[in-house]
Each structure stands twice: as structure tokens, then as C-alpha cells.
Amino acid sequence: MLDKNYIQALKSIVGEDNVYSDKAHMRAYSYDATRTYYEPDAVVFPRNEDDVSRILIYCNSHKIPIVPRGAGSGFTGGALPAKGGIVLGFEKHMNKILEIDMENMLAIVQPGVVNKELQKRVEEVGLFYPPDPASEDYSTIGGNVSENAGGMRAAKYGITKDFVMALRAVRTNGDIIRAGKRTIKDVAGYNIAGILTASEGTLAIITEITLKLLPKPKYAKSYMGIFPDVESAMNAVFKSLASGANPVAMEFLDSLVVKGVKQKLGISLPEDAGALLIGDVDGNIPEELEFQLSILEKSFKENGAMGFEIAEDSKARDEIWRARRGASQSVTIYGSKKLNEDISVPRSKLPEALNKIYAIGRKYGFDIPCFGHAGDGNIHVNVMVDGSDEKQLHNGHEAIKEIFKTVVDMGGTLSGEHGIGLSKAEFMNIAFTPQELQLFRDLKKAFDPNNILNPGKMGL
């Protein structure tokens, strides 16, 4: 519990209506998508950047932990107050789109802006913000930057870091810093904006974000490749891309996910599909789309596809994407507890990686339905266990550890887009050498010597 004098001091900074320490707020800000609970001692809503600076000066001087939070939609516990202290919420006040610059094709936003709202606003003026995490309807840009969120369009357009041009942020001593510029090129000084992106709020508090925008493509079509098994589908992924295909998205569902989607959501999918590859192509002339689809169809069939379907209207397209978006909830038919990870491997390693993941499942007796962003090598692995069975839970975590070791040995990584947070912190030594981990700790200490910013995350 924070001393009442601390609470009153915070109220003097941001106002009575922007600091809460009642049980309802503590509960509401105690969890994220992991459904793990850590209650804060207070929730504070800064009104502007100066408030953030003053809050940091006060909390740093009194060693009070601060956890920045967007929508709390993360899958790794990155926004959980594991050491107590205050949660700094940006959704109440610092949630504005400050500028859409048509001439330079960029947007300047506050961290509490919801991803989907930004997409809608820029598309109204013919521009395009591609990063589209599955949580786009509610996740915030500040959270997206802090976790370096991806999404389905990453195969062609990249992830959040590829669109961050500049940031404003506040250090623990209250200093307000600018990192990056509005210019396309900027090689002056260290890339601090790059360091703060994906830092999970452990180094500084981001208060403003400048994002690159693109012209919005005029046309788009969706496709579906139907394969007898996962291995042939995964071979088709990297071989079609190497052949010149450049799809917006290339998502995959394995046979377990296909069964779950059909059973849970009642969506009609090919009966004999061992795996599906679905996605979009886009462009500014229809011929561009036809060219892309022809490459995909040819490569898919050369790698064993039993069929290749193109959605010719919006209804068919919506049905394809409803199946993909329903994948996560559909795998719950295989167990009451889902241990889900978002490992990533080089695309050419996808067939081998999935075969090894399924072998680990067989070893422990678990179903491991997999789906995800095949176009960028990002697999969502779902170890399904009985949540009431302690032995199964233990074995499930052992299976996750084996999966991490497997993908790292293949040149892959612990996380493609969810981040490390709390849930993957114990596995950092699998992916990094002691010298590399020490560098992370040195960087953390340089930014946050008193360890008040999101302590305990990323194993720091």
C-alpha cells in the first residue's frame, strides 16, 4: 500500500479526478490477456507530457514503481504491476491524434490512441497505416510501440518498428527527450527511437509518436490455398515468396485449428484440409493483383496444394478472414487452459519447426494446434492442457521450454510480436548469452538507475 501522503502528492500533480486507489480500480488494472493478477497501489491518469514528467520526478525520488499501460491487451504480462506501485494510464486524456501530415505522409499521435481509430482516420484521407495486430480494435499505439506489435499485414509491410519515425519520451529524472525526426533519413546520433521501441516501458515513458504512413492501395483480393498437410503448406510459403510473390498477408491454419473453427464457429472450410494458407494481395491496378495471385497459385500447386480459391466478393472475403480471426478462440476445444506462445523462425525453417513442435506435443501427450503469420515466419503455438491438472500444467510449461530451445537453435526467437514481459522472462537465457543479457541490464541502468520503470519485465 502506498502511503496516503504519496497518493495526495500525486493528486496535487494531476488533480483529484485522475488518481484512484479504490478496490474497483485496483482490480480493473490488475490483469491483461494472460489473466494473471497483480494489483497496483494506485492508478494515475496524466493529462499531458508535463504531468508525466512531474510524476516521474516524484516517483523516482521515492522509489515508487511505475507501469505504463495502454489497453492491457498484451499476452505476456508487460502491463502488469508485478512490484506494485502505480499504473500510468493513457486512455483517459493522452489519446489524441495530434496531426495527419498529408504532404509528408505521417501522423503524430499520443500513446493512448487506439490502433483501429488511427487506421480509420488516415484512410479517410487516402493514406494507410499497415500494422494491424489482432487487438487492433482496442490496443493502443503506445502499447503497440512498447511491444513492437505485428499483425497480419506484416508479410508485405513490416511491423510497428518499421513505421516509427520519432518519439517523445520522459526519463525517470523528468527530462523530456526527442528521439528521431520527421525526415525520411536521419543518421545523426544514436537510434534512441529504435531502442525505446519494444522496450516494454522499462526505459522511459513514451508520450508522443510520429508514424510513417503510406498511400492506400486501391484494390485488394483474398485467397485460400488448401493443402493435404502442414509440411507442404510451409514449403509453399517460402518458395512462393522466393518466386516473386509479395502478398499483404499469408496466414496459416493447421488441421487442428481448421477442425476447431468449423466446430466452434460453424464456418464452412474444406473437409480434407491438412492446412490452409489464406491472405490478401493488394495494388493500384487490377493486373497487379492478378499477377500476384497467379504466382501464388502456381507455387502452391507445385508444392502439393489440392486447391486454390479466390474470394470474388466481400462476403466470401469476410468468411475467409472470420476463420482466421476465430482461430485463437476455436482451439479451446482441445483443453481448458491455453499456453500460447508466438515464436518466430526464418521462413525456410517453417516446415522443420512445425514438425518438431508437433513431435514435442506427441512426447507429452498434448494437442498443439498452430496458426499464425506464415508469411513472416511467426507461429502462434498453443499447448492445450487441462487447467485443473497440476501435472499437465507443469508438463505444458516443460513443453514450452523445449519449443523455445528448438526454435532458438534454428535461428529463431522467443517472440515475434507479443514481447517478453513476465511470462517469457525466465527464458531469456535461452535466447541470449550472459554478455548480451548484461548489456541489456547496463542499458536499463543507464535509463532507469533506480529500477522504477516496469520492474521485473524482460528479466531485468
pLDDT single digits (tens) 289-324: 999 999 999 999 999 999 999 998 999 999 999 999
Q: Measured between alpha carbons, how far is 127 from 103 in angstroms, rounded to an integer? A: 11
Q: pLDDT digit string (tens) for 369-386?
A: 999 999 999 999 999 999
* Summary mean pLDDT of the chain: 96
Instruction: Band the pLDDT of 421: cuts 50, 70, 90.
Output: very high
What whole-number distance in Å separates Cα of residue 39 and Cα of residue 81?
6
Q: How far apart are CA 322 and CA 320, in angstroms?
A: 6
**What per-residue confidence (pLDDT) applies to 144?**
98
CA distances from 262 to 43, 197, 253, 269 (A): 42, 38, 12, 7
> What contacts 24+ positions apart, CB below 8 Å, involve 91-94?
91/45, 91/140, 92/18, 92/45, 93/18, 93/45, 93/46, 93/47, 93/48, 94/46, 94/47, 94/48, 94/207
The Cα diameter of the chain in Å comes to: 70
Q: Which amino acid is at 437?
A: L
Listing DSSP states for 411-450 in one string gives T-BS-SSS--TTTTGGGHHHHS-HHHHHHHHHHHHHH-TT
Q: Is the pLDDT of residue 30 over 90?
A: yes
Q: What is the pLDDT of residues 200-238, one digit of tens each?
A: 999 999 999 999 999 999 999 999 999 999 999 999 999
Q: How far apart are CA 358 and CA 204, in angstroms?
A: 40
End-to-end CA distance of the chain: 23
pTM for the structure as a whole: 0.95
Cα–Cα distance, 213 to 107 (Å, whole number):
7
Instruction: pLDDT band for 411, please (50, 70, 90 cuts).
Output: very high
Mean pLDDT within 4-26 = 97
Model confidence pLDDT, tens digit, residues 50-81: 999 999 999 999 999 999 999 999 999 999 99
List the grid coordinates of 425.
Answer: 522472462
Residue 312 has a pLDDT of 87
**Grid cell at residue 383:** 499447448
Distance CA 376, CA 346 (A): 8
Share of the chain above pLDDT 90, in %: 97
* Res 1 pLDDT > 90: no
User: Which residue segments constitute the domains of the chain, with CATH numbers given?
Assistant: 4-92 (3.30.43.10), 100-215 (3.30.465.10), 219-328 (3.30.70.2190), 335-431 (3.30.70.2740)
Beta strands in 139-218 (DSSP E): 164-170, 176-180, 205-212, 214-215
Q: Report pLDDT for 271.
A: 79
